[in-house]
Structure 1
Amino acid sequence: MESNLYLIWGKEAFLIDQEIDRITRQLREEMGEDSELLYLDGDELTARELREQLEFSPLFTLHRVAIIKRPYWLGKGKKRGNKSEDYIKAVNDYLDGATPGQTLVLTTMEMEKTNSLLKRLNKEAGIIECNTPDKKILGRWIMEQFKQRGRSCTSQVVKRLQSSGQDMYYLFNLIEKLSLQVEGRTIEDHDLEQELDIRDEIKVFKLTDALLRRDLNGGMQAFHQLLEQGEHPLLFLNLTVRQLASMTRIKDYSEKGFSNKQIADITGMKDFMVRKFRDSGRHFTWEEIRRFFALCLDIDWKIKNTSQDAGFLLESLIIEICNQSRDQAGT
């Protein structure tokens, strides 16, 4: 393995998970056994707890991969808050010491130039970009996904999927669904009808996905597109509650030590959905989750029983969910 330190950056969650899998597979091939995987919640752990978790002694396993996904302290200065410096120092202290037998993987959505830790990682870590590929590469990936399932599709299907504006996890799931639905023939353009959400006809799940990422700009943009399409705010509110409930369920199983496969078997969810909710759950504290459910209940009552503007109430919910508690504490 050329590096024991990686920084994976970008907004394409599917590619990020693929790169993490590739790193662990490569380690397995080199060492002849699986490495221990340790997912650290960079938002819920204190700086001291993070430092303690990063300490590694090879008593029970020869190698460990520690993964920290999208910690807020790798973000922009205004969003990081004052406490972020404690976390940055904890990671810097780890990097200053020799830690044989451990590979550290950090992920972030953007390469923020003002972040001192990112500047150091840019020099010392293996840097992997995972943004949405261009249409040519995406087209090859789409065709390969159909081929792996023993299916073929027309060039028009590829073009529509290329231009859909959807993330690769969405496309992966859609290709899986089409491959199961259409048997014995080439998948054609009409098979996509009622299945593909194009950017100009954004669906509610696009908005709830933005909320689970705590992406305020994406959430607001999607919400106003929904309003322009004539969707009622209650539809968004109901689906937000359902998504939060699913995430909470996965978070609970995850913290009890269940694997992704065990959680998928128990809940009946697809593996990629389990991974998605598990990743999202790391960015929410239990206190926040309880507060969000209470706020959803309050907004539901106000929409149905008062004259308050439903759009304004939903905007306040989006802001509340997307603003992380530690960001607020540092401002």
Structure 2
Amino acid sequence: MIYLLHGEEEFLVSEALAQLKAGFGSGDMLDLNTIRFEGGSVGFAEFEAAVCTIPFLADCRLVLVDGLLASLQRRAAHRGDGDEGEGDGDGSETAGGRADGGWEKLGDLLTRLPDTTQLVFIEGAINARATAAKAVMQAADVRRFDKLKGPPLADWVRKRAVEHACKLSGGALPLLVNLAGNDLRLLDSELQKLTLYANGASVDEAAVRALVPLSAETAIFGLVDAFVERQLTPAQRELHRLLNNGAAPPYLLFMLARQVRLVLAAADLLSERLPQSEMGPRLGLAGFPLTKTIEQAQRTNVPTLIAMLNRLLEADVQMKTGKLDAVLAVELLVTELCIASRARAGR
């Protein structure tokens, strides 16, 4: 049997892999008959030998391959052609290295695997139109795991809370998602922490606020809120909390610029009187980030947003040229944006 587990949600991919492995058995004999390859370093001949080998004193042989399709696609892009498989070697070359012949025979190989072979391709985002990807998708049980957002994310958290026996009450669930973002691994960890803290009791909003750290994305919303509301002290507090949690100034600058651009785009869509249901796909947002971005667009104006972007660009130049220390540059940026917003509001 052949499986393709792929998608941007690495946590769901890893869980799907664990469930597959559990279904194949456990113990020393499965370990003995399991081999795992990094797609960028395995040669076709080595791969072919592994998937065609009969298991030793076991029902199946498990072959796991990480990132092979992505590696073949990178090589094709580097060569500037669309064929991921052709090469000049004898099939012993790697998918991600020097020469890489033999992989053009991947599709044929997948049609003649022994029934005892369980082959699992593990990938991130892939180009489904690429030659190797097409061959694998045609032969495999394909399972795709996209990033969760909006209602599907809330449903996942709700189900996960039940699995951990974590009783989320009232607004605790949406607050948890707003604070932790859509990082499923982080959300799972926070649910486990809340379960231990509650010790069988319900988890309310106060417990979530006390135990769950603010995600960088949520803190960026707070900073832009402070700019719009001309609140210098909250802005400085959010900035220092981010810096103390290890956020790098260039990253903060990038995230701030991204959010201001989204608010500017939302303001443009609001001027066209588009409903929120149509704005989401246009902005690439859903759930809390979409609602928050629209709310910020309604509370400011286009000239203010353009002025913010110009000041963000100036801070970026100051950092990259070394004119100002990175932390000082972002501190001055936050102060000046709040003061400038205040001045424009007073006109």
How would you bin the TM-score normalised by the shorter chain?
0.5 to 0.7
The one-character-per-residue Cα deviations of 1:207-247 (angstroms, maximum 9, x if unpaired) are 89xxxxxxxxxxx867833899xxxxxxxxxxxxxxxxxxx
1:139 to 141, 147, 154: 154
1:78 correspondence with 2:108: no
- What's the CA shift for 1:309? 8.3
Check 1:200–1:162 CA distance in 2 against 1; reply closer, same or farther (3 A cut): closer
Task: Choose which of 205, 211, 214 in structure 2 pairs with 1:197.
Answer: 214
One of 53, 56, 63 as aligned partner of 1:56:
53
Q: How much does 1:192 deviate?
A: 2.4
Match of 2:196 among 138, 161, 180: 180
Query: Is structure 2 residue 110 aligned with structure 1 residue 89?
Result: no
After superposition, where does 1:35-184 map in structure 2 within 5 Å?
36-71=33-68, 72-75=70-73, 77-78=76-77, 86=101, 88-89=103-104, 91-163=106-178, 164-184=180-200
Please tell me whether the aligned partners of residues 149 and 182 of structure 2 are also in contact (alpha carbons under 8 angstroms): no
Instruction: Point out where structure 1 has 5 or more consecutive residues left out of the alignment.
Output: 209-219, 229-302, 312-331
How many residues are matched?
219
Which has the larger displacement, 168-177 or 150-159?
A: 150-159
Aligned counterparts of 2:158 and 2:134: Cα–Cα separation in 1: 38
Is contact 1:75–1:108 with CA below 8 Å preserved after alignment? Answer: no
Q: What SS class does the counterpart of residue 167 from structure 2 fall into?
A: coil
Secondary structure (helix, strand or coil) at the match of 1:118 reads helix
The equivalent of 1:7 in structure 2 is 4
- DSSP 3-state at the match of 1:225: helix
Deviations 1:272-327 (A, max 9, x none): xxxxxxxxxxxxxxxxxxxxxxxxxxxxxxx9xxx69887xxxxxxxxxxxxxxxx
2:218 is aligned with what amino acid?
D
- Mapped to 2, the partners of 1:137 and 1:206 lie a distance apart of 30
What SS class does the counterpart of residue 104 from structure 2 fall into? helix
Q: Within 5 Å, which residues of 2 pair with 1:310-329?
A: none
* Separation of aligned partners in 2, 1:161 and 1:130: 22
The whole-number CA distance in structure 2 between the counterparts of 1:98 and 1:92 is 11
Offset, 1:54: 3.0
Aligned partners of 1:206 and 1:49: how far apart in 2?
43
Query: CA, structure 1 residues 192+98, in 2 after alignment: closer, same or farther (shift >3 Å)?
Result: same
Supply the AA of the counterpart residue of 1:175: L
Partner Cα separation in structure 1 for residue 109 and residue 62 of structure 2: 14
Larger radius of gyration between Structure 1 and Structure 2: 2
Partner AA of 1:173 in structure 2:
S
Could you tell me how far 1:173 is from its partner in structure 2?
A: 0.8
Judged with a 3 Å threshold, the aligned counterparts in structure 2 of structure 1 residues 43 and 133 are, in CA distance, closer, same or farther, namely same
Cα shift at 1:65:
1.8
Q: Do 1:42 and 1:50's aligned partners in 2 also have CA atoms closer than 8 Å?
A: no
Relative to the length of structure 1, the TM-score reads 0.54
SS for the counterpart of 1:150 is coil
Deviation at 1:17, TM superposition (A): 1.6
Q: Secondary structure in 2 aligned to 1:38?
A: strand
- Closer, same or farther: CA 112–80 of 1 in aligned 2, 3 Å: farther
Cα distance, 1:26 vs structure 2: 3.3
> CA, structure 1 residues 147+118, in 2 after alignment: closer, same or farther (shift >3 Å)?
same
Residue 186 of structure 1: how far off its partner (Å): 1.4
Is the CA contact 1:146–1:152 (under 8 Å) kept in the aligned structure 2?
yes
For residues 141 and 15 of structure 1, the distance between their equivalents in structure 2, rounded to whole angstroms, comes to 11
- Aligned counterpart, 2:88: none
**Per-residue Cα deviation, 1:128-178 (whole angstroms, up to 9, x for no partner):** 011123433332332333333333012422113344433211111111111
Contact 2:169 2:204 in 1 (8 A): yes
Bigger drift between 195-204 and 122-131 goes to 195-204
Contact 2:106–2:135 (CA<8 Å) still a contact in 1? no
**What is the CA distance between 1:34 and its match in structure 2?**
5.1
- Taking structure 1 as reference, are residues 225 and 56 closer, same or farther at Cα in structure 2, changes over 3 Å only? same
Q: Residue 86 of structure 1 aligns to a residue in which SS?
A: coil
CA–CA distance in structure 2, aligned partners of residues 50 and 110 of structure 1: 22
